[in-house]
Structures are given as structure tokens and as C-alpha cells.
Structure 1
């Protein structure tokens, strides 16, 4: 149960350090190739393996190995892993989700620490790609589409760093929105959240400057999905435009919603940008090397090459 999966066994023996991508439906994830590229550029004999699983006990057994440098944690494990952490960063605690495991020493023991680098991925996607944040999204409303873990990270980034005056929440499921607002209020930053549930309501509101879309790339089918899409399009069609980060990049970052936003005159930032910048933040925790000293251009190049392949 706690052993390294058979297909990894021989390879692990050849490596100095190993890590995992722990989640389900991760076959298409670019995380291992991204981190592998960074490790090679740094001259490290390290590798990240996919662990397609929601088996927390198995995962905890695997990461006990002192060879393990840490892990990327994805759905459905981001919240369930939290009760097993010995320490967590402010971002992890405030968002209520962990996407990165790393280790520290405390009283001579190796302890499991958790953080949330998704929030940095959202923040840096905008600041690295928007030439004039003051003119585009600072001191304007922000908007988040969705109600899951990624949406919570986006809310936190907009509130903490991006100077959003208020944050509109748009989602097909009201109960998910209610849960986000309740949890954010409990953590002290929910008062600026506004559930926008109809196109008529959206008509009356100021246009957002930064939108983060955190939903899969499926056409709207149910009445609730069609209503949510109408709300989004009402905001996109307002006279004042901004930038939209389309977090969905699997199987392709070129989504239907991204196309609608682009045609409406918005700057669309691909979800692979968030993956890249949260990935560099993970590297900082694992290697101890500051992001400015990491091989940023090489990491971006390998993802750009993958994007070109996805267009073929």
C-alpha cells in the first residue's frame, strides 16, 4: 500500500530526489514536464511523477521517504489533504485549499507543510501580461466565474493583491457561491463579494477590470448554465473592457469563453500562464531558490512548445 508504484520503482532509484503530482484525471497535466525542465536547467537529478489517485493514506506513506522533495496537489485532494498538514502558510489557510506540499525541520523532525501557490499564479498572470494595471484593473471591481477551489484562489488574489473594489461571483450553482461567501466572510474577506445571478442585475453594475474564469470548457446546456453565460456576456459587452484570465487549459487553453471575450475586445490571458507562475512559486518552496534566480525563460519555452503542439 505504501510502496512506490511499480512503474516508478526503477526510476526512483536513479534519482536524487522525487516528487509527485497527486490528483485524478492528470494524464494530460503539463506539471511534470514543466518541473522536469526546471530541474534539469538547475542541474538537479530530480523528477516529479504522476500519482493518479485520491488515496490519502498511500500518498502520506510515499512522501515519508526522505528522497521526496514535495508534491503538487490537485483535485479532488486540495481540501482533504489539509487535515494532514503539520503547518500551513497564510495563503493555504485563508483560501482553505492546499496545492503544494513541502517539508521543513522542526525540533529535529521533518514536518509536512502546505501552501497555496494558485493565488500567486492568478496574481502573476495579470501582472506579467497586463502593461497598465492602474488603467486596466486596479481600483475596479473584479469578477470570478465558478465556485470551486480555483475560484477561491482567484477571489483571494483579487482581494489581497489586485486592489479589487468588490468581487462579482458568477456560477450556475447558487449553493457553491453561498459557500464561498460564507467561508470568505469567516476568514475576514467576504464583505466585498457580490453574487450576480441575472443579466438584468449585471446590466446595473460597473464593469469589472479583471475576470478570472474557473469553469470547464463546456457549452452551457442547463437553464442555470445559460443564465450564468448571459451574465458573463453582459459584463463582457460593457463599454469599458479589461483582462480575463481563462484558467481552463485542459485539453486546450483556447476555450469557447476565451473566444467570446476576445471578440468582445478583452485581453485574454491563457490558463497556462497561471500554471507557469504558480509552478515557479512551487519551485521556490522545493529548491529554496528565489523565482528571480530560476530558469524562467526555459520553463515558459517548454509550455509554449506544448501549446503549439495542442494547436496541431
Structure 2
């Protein structure tokens, strides 16, 4: 990569709000440099109100693509020219390519989570029962992809019960009948968790600077659960620490970030990423923040 962007440099833009915690820019830029690619990855914080104007302007610049994070993964869809079939099924986008002035949305979140989960646990998602906290863009991607990969059952819990019910219905109609909304009362949650193999926090609860926030009561954790958290800042969230203290195997969120980023890198450039370099940067930066 050139020491600074020039008129020929292809830009990759991260859209979201807030973005101060993100390690995606250095993770991608390290690999651009190592592969001698004339690309530059840049974060752009944007509000929901300004998203249409900012996205339209950037898409007409020398941009190869975008990554999209909270809170824009679903709202961005209406501004795209085309959707990959998996992203259309999921109903959320985290990666966008720009080719010949046309934008196309993809979703690499679910595959990134599954690759991280299976490597960390040395097991497969096939045949397992999952309990998801949240029903936003990341939850949609993970739940839909789990259903594609043969999850036995997917229980979804959200503070707004109707949103969990809507997502479960979509999974059952679009993929196969394997999802249900988890009830709100503690006894109902406890029963759903007792019947699950894996708990996944897909919300932002516990993310810096609110590290002490738990996405569910600690008393609901049980040693039979594998506990995964897609929050990666901090590396060890309060949920993961609590789960580990209960004897649960854990899956931190950094692996998902690395693998979804690697898949996006290939879409932006057409070049296989150096996943080990991405992981080295990610772990180094996060260790320095602890």
C-alpha cells in the first residue's frame, strides 16, 4: 500500500455510530499493506438521519465498498441497488461492494460467527439448540445462518417480545421451522435456557464503556451452556467472565469480527486475505486496551 492515499487509492468505508472502539480499520489496512494493495480503510461515523445523504455521496467516490455496523445494518438496505440472496434472506447487510457505480449488499456476520464458534469449541453447530439474546441485525444474520447450517432449535429473546416473534416467524418461513420466541418471565427463560446448548449475546450490552452491564441475570447461567458473546470490546465481557465462573465453555466475540472481516476483504478486493495478520492486529490492539 502507498504511504498515503492518492487519486488511485480505492477506499473502503466503515459506516456506523459510534466507531471509536472499532479495530477494523487497522486490521484491514495491515493486510492491504502486506499484500501491496492500493486500498485504504476509513471509519465514517454517521447518524441514521444523515445516512442516506452520506452513503449516496461516498458511493460516488473512489470507493470499493463499505462495512456497515450498528445501527445501520437493516436501514442501509433500501439504499442499495442489489442484494446477495443470503443477505436478502437475512434482511440485514454488513458488507457492500461498489462495481460500475452499482452497490450490492452482503452479510458475512453469520458465517463469521459460525467459523469462530466451531474453531473455539472444536464442534459443529449442526444439531445444537441455541438461545439468542437480541433480534437486531447481528441476531438476524446469526440466527438465519444457524438455521441454514442445521441448528436443531433457535430460541430468541428480546426486550420487545414482538420483535423476537417476528424474527422467529421469518426463520421458520424462509428457511425451515426451527425457531421460536422465548417467553419473558424468568421461569420461562430458565426453561428455554435449560433446553439449549448454546447462549449467544447478539446485543451491544456489555460493550465499552458499559462493561459492567449484563444482558441477562447471572443466576440464569448454567454449566451445561456454551456461552458466546459477539461483543469484542472488552475481550472478556462481564457475561463471559460470569459464564466462565460458572464453569461454562466460552466463545469471545473477537473471532467473529476477524472472520467476518476476512470474508468482506475478499469481496472488496477479490484477493484472499491474510487471516493470521488480521488476527495478530486484532488481538494486539485489544490486549493494549485491557
TM over 0.5: yes
The change in CA–CA distance for 1:171 and 1:80 in structure 2 (over 3 A counts) is closer
The structural deviation recorded for 1:58 is 2.3
1:48 maps to: 41
8 Å Cα contact 1:138-1:209 kept in structure 2: no
The structural deviation recorded for 1:253 is 2.6
Detail structure 1 runs of 4+ shifted over 6 Å in the superposition.
none
Structure showing greater Rg:
1
Q: Does 1:117 align with 2:105?
A: no
TM (norm. structure 2) is 0.87
1:196 maps to: 183
1:8 maps to: none
The structural deviation recorded for 1:19 is 1.4
* Aligned partner of 1:82 among 58, 77, 81: 77
8 Å Cα contact 2:112-2:259 kept in structure 1: yes
* Aligned partner of 1:282 among 254, 259, 264: 264
- 1:93-172 paired onto structure 2 within 5 Å: 93-104=88-99, 109-133=100-124, 137-161=125-149, 163-172=150-159
Cα distance in 2 for partners of 1:269, 1:142 equals 13
SS at match of 2:75: coil
SS at match of 1:193: strand
SS at match of 1:265: coil
Cα distance in 1 for partners of 2:96, 2:171 equals 23
Q: Does 1:57 align with 2:39?
A: no
1:209 maps to: 197
1:247 maps to: 230
The structural deviation recorded for 1:202 is 4.1
Cα distance in 2 for partners of 1:73, 1:116 equals 10
The change in CA–CA distance for 1:253 and 1:190 in structure 2 (over 3 A counts) is farther
Aligned residue pair count: 279
Task: Report Cα offsets for 1:109-156 as digits up to 9, x if no partner.
Answer: 4421110111111111112212233xxx53121111112111111211
RMSD (CA atoms) = 2.4
1:237 maps to: 222
1:173 maps to: 160
The structural deviation recorded for 1:191 is 4.7
8 Å Cα contact 1:143-1:169 kept in structure 2: yes
Gaps of 5+ in 2: none
Cα distance in 1 for partners of 2:232, 2:8 equals 30
Cα distance in 2 for partners of 1:145, 1:113 equals 29
TM (norm. structure 1) is 0.81
Gaps of 5+ in 1: 1-10
8 Å Cα contact 1:117-1:282 kept in structure 2: yes
8 Å Cα contact 1:183-1:190 kept in structure 2: no
SS at match of 2:216: helix
SS at match of 2:121: coil
Cα distance in 2 for partners of 1:199, 1:62 equals 46
The change in CA–CA distance for 1:233 and 1:25 in structure 2 (over 3 A counts) is same
